[in-house]
Amino acid sequence: MADDDFNEELDRMTKKMTGKDLGEWERIHGKGKRPKRRDEHTMPLFPELESAMPNHLARSSLFAPIRRGRRGMFDKVKLSSRDDVSIYFSGKQLDMADNDVYLELLRQAQGRLFGESVPVSRYAILKELGRPTGQAQYKWLHESIRRLTFAMVDIEATRYKAAFHLIDSFELDKETGEYVLRIHPEVRKLFARGEYGFINLERRRELSRRIDLAKWLQNYICSHRRGDQQRVTFAKLHKWTGSSSHLRDFRRYVTEAMKELERVGEVEAVEANDNTIAWCRSVDK
């Protein structure tokens, strides 16, 4: 969506906001705050209960459906991705749980300037993720935020080159349990020209089978338009996910994960053969 069109829609949306809507906005952004008109330096607004994922990251192995405890350490390693982008990564390998955290942090930063300080409660993050709250979970969350802050992405796409940490910096007040974090200003380039997809977090939480692979596929699916049939080879998905499974087993895993996404309403008309899988991204009613 172009910025002018977005800003016109934002003006209409703000005028129609109910007290409940404004209360939710103020809960995230602070009392008295109102949605800002968007330019290239401002994080876009997201639909309710959704976050957003830049297309190039969604179509790569940056966040990978790996098994627990199998993280590697990378030093400017080229990630698997489509041919229209080159992505190099330095840091500890990120999994789909880290992706969940990042999606929630982006949701908390919506409507703010990239690089602006974003206060967020660690208790609130865990509740939004559907996780229990306790010292073990606070420690897990802190380690995930540290990985996201240490993670360095060097990306070259058709229109731009950029290098940044996924989170620029963060602070934690141990007494209040509140983080103050900043999304790196260069991340704005990944959101330019509408090159991102909205991720339905309610559907994400409903997933109960092949969960991590289904989450990666949801990211990939949401980087495409609704209603259009998509078809891709299992071999390409195997590469882009960074999977270490045998391709024969991977075909079965992907088919099962796609059926799970069909069950929660993310896709429809799933078809698979020995080499490819096809689907249509559902059109929300």
Domain residue ranges in the chain: 1-37, 39-194, 207-281
Q: Does domain 39-194 have CATH number 1.10.10?
A: yes
Rounded to whole angstroms, the Cα distance separating 5 from 81 reads 31
pLDDT tens, residue by residue, 24-76: 545 544 555 544 445 678 999 999 889 999 999 999 999 999 887 778 899 99
pLDDT tens, residue by residue, 239-252: 999 999 999 999 99
For residues 119 and 193, the model is more confident at 119
pLDDT computed for residue 143 by the predictor: 97
Q: At what angle do helices 96-109 and 135-150 cross, to 10 degrees?
A: 80
Q: Do 39-194 and 207-281 fold alike per CATH?
A: yes
Report the pLDDT averaged over residues 246-271. 96
Q: DSSP 3-state assignment of 149?
A: helix
CATH of domain 207-281: 1.10.10
Q: At what angle do helices 96-109 and 211-221 cross, to 10 degrees?
A: 50
Residues 6+ positions from 75 with CB-CB distance below 8 Å: 90
Q: What is the pTM of this model?
A: 0.85
Instruction: Say whether pLDDT at 10 is over 90.
Output: no
Instruction: Say whether pLDDT at 21 is over 50.
Output: no
